[in-house]
Amino acid sequence: MKVLEAVYEVYTAWNLKELGIDLDKVYDWHVKWDKLHVQHNRYGAWYDYEPNMYKGHDSDFKRPSRYTMDGDDYDYDDWKSDNEYEEDLNYG
């Protein structure tokens, strides 16, 4: 079976200086569901921060960042250059 996968990368960003957060001085942190979760001290509450630069769910999915074919990396640009001058790609 031939399986082509289009892989999209999503980026989310926080301006930590603007939020007043220094990750070297917090007890714990992680990112989940497009939110930054920070525990400032060991027994303190967790605080959630929405992205303040750009959000992953606002990404444009027009073009994938890469492809795989049957689980292996697949280079569309190599395929395109190999077939660039073919008049009939046999789409039948």
Does some domain include residue 72? Answer: yes
Does some domain include residue 87? Answer: no
pLDDT tens, position by position, 72-86: 888 877 777 777 655
Give the amino acid at 73. D
Q: What was the pLDDT predicted at 22?
A: 97
Domains contained in the chain, number:
1
Strand order of the sheet with strand 4-7? 4-7, 66-69, 72-74
- Of the candidates 76, 54, 55, the one whose C-alpha atom is nearest the C-alpha of residue 7 is 76
Does some domain include residue 30? Answer: yes
Give, as one character, the DSSP assignment of residue 78.
Answer: H
Does some domain include residue 23? Answer: yes
pLDDT classification of 57: cutoffs 50, 70, 90: confident
